[in-house]
Amino acid sequence: MKLNGARILLECLKREGVDTIFGYPGGTVINLYDELFSFKEIRHILPRHEQAGVHAADGYARATGKVGVAIATSGPGATNTITGIATAYMDSIPMVIITGQVPTALIGNDAFQEADIIGITRPCTKHNFLVKDVKDLATIMKKAFYIARTGRPGPVVVDLPKDVQIAQTEFKYPETVEIRGYKPTVEGHPKQIEKAVAAIMQAKKPVIYVGGGVILGNASAELVALAKRLGIPVTTTLMGLGSFPENDSLSLGLLGMHGTYYANMAVSNCDMLIAIGARFDDRVTGKIASFAPHAKIVHVDVDPTSIKKNVRVDLPIVGDVRDVLVKMLKIVDEIGPDAEGCRQALASWTAEIDGWKEKHPMAYKQATSTIKPQYVIQRLRALSDPDAIVATDVGQHQMWTAQFFGFTAPRTLLSSGGLGTMGFGLPAAMGAQAGFPDRQVMVICGDGGFQMNMQELATIVQNRLNVKIVILNNNFLGMVRQWQELFFDKRYSSTCMELPIDFIKLAEAFGATGLQATKVDEVDEVIKKGFSIKGPVLMEFKVAREEKVLPMVPAGASLTEMVLAS
């Protein structure tokens, strides 16, 4: 039977296991939306802005591990998706974004609502496709999903002209996919892995440095097993938080610019750094020349371009992190008793690290009545479900969440790490909630970032998405203010959000519940009440206005040059 392109697209989504999509209709996707009207197998959620739609699909993908799907119309709809796509690209999130396009005969004619979205998204997608013939549509969709989820994952754009949605053809979904220029290396080289394990076993001061790749590659269990077996301390990047339980004694927490004193000291003093699914971002390394100066570096990553991009690497292993970790564990098992000896040999190293932990633990000064933002984060952890999902926005609250929440499971922190996109948190939480209707989902944001996508309160209420919104309100764009305080002589240029917004009324205007705490002894009450109400709740915490995120490694300085909390 012949189907039109719009229907074929939906059939492809169904065959890829897609059950939820986020999209915004418009002139060039109206045919697609007409098919969707009677297509009941897919839940469609209408955001209030295409950027938020893409962030929602991104949050859905981060939380569930499935490919997130978003739809936008041509022209402005498509250009509105760019920030969302770039966010997903920087954090390697598997997504397929479908954009409408003007009819093929009009492409290049400056038609109404035309934008060269293939050209525009080329540098911020893993790949993109313009569908010129309906006969190619099914194959392109198969390739799009395959590319998005394999190797180093990433967003793929499929640009679908209006006439291709209308044109009909016989539908057959390909069972296999063959792309001769795309063969990601999955299996790590056995000899390299053997060499790496041998080197690791000989190290006196090893540290494991984990990035988002371990979460994307679903390799947390293997990571935990290896670290515990050998007794090697683990530090994670922002994207790696949750891959290793922070309540474990081997956990060093976050490293880098706002990392813990002990993680940065451990990395700076180690003789063996095992980087797994991480890419040596400048926020992690600080000054490259003095990063891990005494260490031999083993780097495991699925993307060969990540290896030796920023730092020298002694033992590169290209491959799927889980495959590599499984093989490492097997070798360790074969060695058997010697592995125990290896762990015991690290006693003096762990004692040295414990010394750093004792000297400068993660701490902040508690106040008598004003609310410290770090305190709110700690209370949120204490009063939320153990498997709660936390989305963050970008800025100070994001770093406090990373420092003080204490993540213990993968895919429970959703945060824009690479691009650092303000406005990400609320829609990402919305997407995660759509993926896990029965789990507690909260977004922790600042007053600035919240306002960047606060229109999504409408989507949340309309779709009965049970999202708990936590606003740490300091009436500042806090992270920029902090930099201005430290490096620009307190000249707070355009960082004070002078208009006091009544967030409670705002929540109520959208049909959500609004709660507020202004004193420290109200914090627990608001959190408990917020979590107990079924449905969307906005909890506003008026926090200490000029609190800083510490420790801090100034941009370009070495990891050992930390500004510490007094």
Partner 1 sequence: MKHTIAVLVENEFGVLSRVVGLFSGRGFNIDSLTVAPTNDEALSRITLVTRGDEQIIEQITKQLNKLIDVIKVIDFEAENAIEREMVLVKVAAEDQSRAEVLRIADIFRAKVIDVTPKSYTLEATGTPAKVGAMIELLRPLGLKELVSTGPVVIGRGAKGWKG
Minimum CB separation of residue 152 from partner 1 in Å reads 8
- Count of residues in contact with partner 1, rule CB under 8 A: 17
Does residue number 309 form part of the binding site for partner 1 (CB under 8 A)? yes
d(CA 150, CA 94): 8
Q: Which of 147, 216, 223, 390 binds partner 1 (CB under 8 A)?
A: 147
Does residue number 105 form part of the binding site for partner 1 (CB under 8 A)? no
| Active-site annotation holds for 113 | yes
Which CB atom, from 183 or from 519, has the smaller least distance to partner 1? 183
d(CA 293, CA 275): 15
Does residue number 336 form part of the binding site for partner 1 (CB under 8 A)? no
Minimum CB separation of residue 294 from partner 1 in Å reads 22
| Active-site annotation holds for 170 | no
Which CB atom, from 180 or from 534, has the smaller least distance to partner 1? 180
Q: Which of 122, 464, 490, 528 binds partner 1 (CB under 8 A)?
A: 122
Minimum CB separation of residue 122 from partner 1 in Å reads 6
d(CA 164, CA 119): 19
Q: Which of 172, 204, 294, 308 binds partner 1 (CB under 8 A)?
A: 308
Task: Give the orientation angle of helix 347-359 with respect to helix 261-269, to 10 degrees.
Answer: 140
Active-site pick, 66, 126, 142, 162: 162
Active-site pick, 41, 112, 172, 490: 112
Minimum CB separation of residue 128 from partner 1 in Å reads 8
d(CA 253, CA 266): 11
Helix (H, G, I), strand (E, B) or coil at 122: helix
Query: Letter for the amino acid at 544?
Result: A
Which CB atom, from 125 or from 558, has the smaller least distance to partner 1? 125
Which CB atom, from 118 or from 515, has the smaller least distance to partner 1? 118
Q: Which of 14, 15, 127, 360 binds partner 1 (CB under 8 A)?
A: 127
Helix (H, G, I), strand (E, B) or coil at 470: strand
CB neighbour list of residue 438: distance below 8 Å, 6 or more residues apart? none
Which CB atom, from 180 or from 191, has the smaller least distance to partner 1? 180
Which CB atom, from 179 or from 382, has the smaller least distance to partner 1? 179
* Strands of the 251-254 sheet, one edge to the other: 251-254, 234-236, 206-210, 272-276, 296-301, 315-318
Active-site pick, 11, 35, 50, 456: 50
**Count of Cβ atoms closer than 10 Å to residue 220 Cβ:** 22
Q: Which of 527, 407, 429, 406 is nearest to 472 (CA)?
A: 527
Which range in 1-9, 299-307, 424-432, 540-548 contacts partner 1 by CB under 8 A? 299-307
Does residue number 224 form part of the binding site for partner 1 (CB under 8 A)? no
Q: Which of 48, 55, 62, 126 binds partner 1 (CB under 8 A)?
A: 126
* Contact of 16 with 45, CB cutoff 8 Å: no
Which range in 17-25, 43-51, 191-199, 300-308 contacts partner 1 by CB under 8 A? 300-308
d(CA 58, CA 60): 5
Which CB atom, from 312 or from 365, has the smaller least distance to partner 1? 312
Residue 320 has φ and ψ, to the nearest 5°, of -65, 130
Does residue number 135 form part of the binding site for partner 1 (CB under 8 A)? no
d(CA 473, CA 156): 36
| Active-site annotation holds for 450 | no
Which CB atom, from 122 or from 464, has the smaller least distance to partner 1? 122
Helix (H, G, I), strand (E, B) or coil at 514: strand
Tokens 């989507």 -> residue: 459
Which CB atom, from 155 or from 478, has the smaller least distance to partner 1? 155
Which CB atom, from 160 or from 389, has the smaller least distance to partner 1? 160
344-352 contacts at long range (C-beta below 8 A, 24 or more positions apart)? 344/231, 345/204, 346/204, 346/205, 346/206, 346/230, 346/231, 346/232, 348/204, 349/204, 349/205, 349/206, 349/233, 350/231, 350/233, 352/205, 352/269
User: Helix, strand, coil % (nearest 5) of the chain?
Assistant: 45, 15, 40
Which range in 19-27, 123-131, 517-525, 548-556 contacts partner 1 by CB under 8 A? 123-131
* Contact of 423 with 443, CB cutoff 8 Å: no
Does residue number 130 form part of the binding site for partner 1 (CB under 8 A)? yes
Report the 3 state secondary structure along 244-268.
CCCCCCCEEEECCCCCCHHHHHHHH
Task: Give the orientation angle of helix 373-383 with respect to helix 523-532, to 10 degrees.
Answer: 40
Q: Which of 118, 158, 465, 471 binds partner 1 (CB under 8 A)?
A: 118
| Span between the terminal Cα atoms of the chain, in Å | 72
Which range in 122-130, 194-202, 281-289, 525-533 contacts partner 1 by CB under 8 A? 122-130
Does residue number 363 form part of the binding site for partner 1 (CB under 8 A)? no
| Active-site annotation holds for 407 | no
Does residue number 109 form part of the binding site for partner 1 (CB under 8 A)? no
CB neighbour list of residue 187: distance below 8 Å, 6 or more residues apart? 319, 320, 323
Minimum CB separation of residue 129 from partner 1 in Å reads 9
Task: Give the orientation angle of helix 5-15 with respect to helix 137-149, to 10 degrees.
Answer: 30
Does residue number 304 form part of the binding site for partner 1 (CB under 8 A)? yes
| Active-site annotation holds for 112 | yes
User: Per-residue string for binding with partner 1, 172-201, x by CB under 8 A?
Assistant: -------xxxx-------------------
Which CB atom, from 179 or from 198, has the smaller least distance to partner 1? 179
d(CA 255, CA 353): 14
Q: Which residues 18-37 are close enough to bind partner 1 by CB under 8 A?
A: none
Binding residues for partner 1, rule: CB under 8 A, are 118-119, 122-123, 126-127, 130, 147, 179-182, 303-305, 308-309
Active site residues: 50, 112-113, 162, 479
